């Protein structure tokens, strides 16, 4: 492959580690996460770019220059022919660009056309296993179930992840499960336990994954004990 991802490393013959994407357009957050050696890719959308207050083109140039992995960029239309046109333009920006297309009948038409041209597609706004099946059959490289939004509606988001994992294991789809709308570190743990290929997380969730109260207590104790050692 053209890109080497940290998540593809093996440990003692085990399966590849879950890949971690950052769901942001904030360059400072991406730079910090990349410095930890755990960042495998980035997902963005118009809302995230708007939050930066910067021009779209400048933000995207900075992201693709910094991230050594897939960068999902979303189309901004709901018509298939326009999605196809935008998708081609986005794919030309950089070899790591993945075109993000919304689920729906028009989206499926665009996925079919663009995937046949070798353009990788991330199907967004997935809320059921049925939608994931259709996106994979149409040629999507990634399907993104939004588990947090399902939880908000009183449904169990992880149940959709569970169903998609089982279905994909039954068939030879060249499609990865990218769990999105993650709200807290427990979502990451559950997705990884179920066998999701990728989780895309906000920076605050990624930061919380590094933290534990006992780690803080242990570090403070080490520092205090070090002060007692004769120098």
Positions marked active-site: 100
Query: Residue 1 falls within a domain, yes or no?
Result: no
Strands (DSSP E) along the chain, which ranges?
A: 19-23, 41-43, 71-74, 97-102, 121-126, 142-145, 176-179, 198-201
Q: pLDDT at position 220, please?
A: 80
Write down the pLDDT at residue 175.
97
pLDDT averaged over consecutive 10-residue blocks of the chain (231 residues)?
36 67 97 95 94 94 95 96 98 97 98 98 98 98 97 96 96 94 96 96 96 80 78 83
Phi-psi region of 167 (alpha: psi -120 to 50; beta: other; left: phi over 0): alpha
Q: Residue 36: which residues within 8 A CB-CB, separation 6 or more?
A: 210
Query: From CA 75, how far away is CA 82, in angstroms rounded?
Result: 9
pTM (global) more than 0.85: yes
pLDDT given for residue 15 in this prediction: 55
CATH number for 33: 3.20.20.70
Structural domain span for residue 99: 6-228
Structural domains in the chain (count): 1
Give the pLDDT confidence score for residue 58 in this predicted structure: 95
pLDDT at 9: 39
Structure tokens at 184: 């807290």
Structure token digits, residue 131? 């939608």
Q: 63 near 45, Cβ under 8 Å?
A: no
| CA dist., res. 205 & res. 183, Å (int) | 7
Question: First-to-last CA distance in the chain?
Answer: 51
Assess if residue 116 is contained within a domain: yes
């Amino acid at each position: 492959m053209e890109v080497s991802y940290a998540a593809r490393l093996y440990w003692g013959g085990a399966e590849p580690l879950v890949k971690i994407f950052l769901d942001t357009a904030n360059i400072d957050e991406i730079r910090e996460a990349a410095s930890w050696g755990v960042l495998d890719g980035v997902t963005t959308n118009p809302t995230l770019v708007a939050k930066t207050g910067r021009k779209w083109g400048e933000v995207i140039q900075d992201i693709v220059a910094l991230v050594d992995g897939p960068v999902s960029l979303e189309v901004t239309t709901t018509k298939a022919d326009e999605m196809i046109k935008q998708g081609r333009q986005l794919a030309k920006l950089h070899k790591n660009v993945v075109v993000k297309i919304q689920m729906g009948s028009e989206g499926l038409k665009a996925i079919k056309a663009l995937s046949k041209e070798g353009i990788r597609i991330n199907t967004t706004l997935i809320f059921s296993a049925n939608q994931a099946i259709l996106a994979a059959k149409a040629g999507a490289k990634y399907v993104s179930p939004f588990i947090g939004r399902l939880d908000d509606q009183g449904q169990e988001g992880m149940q959709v992840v569970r169903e998609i994992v089982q279905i994909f294991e039954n068939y030879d789809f060249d499609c990865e499960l990218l769990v999105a709308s993650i709200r807290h570190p427990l979502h990451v743990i559950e997705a990884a336990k179920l066998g999701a290929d990728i989780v895309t997380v906000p920076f605050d969730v990624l930061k919380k994954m590094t933290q534990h109260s006992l780690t803080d207590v242990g570090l403070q104790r080490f520092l205090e004990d070090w002060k007692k050692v004769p120098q």
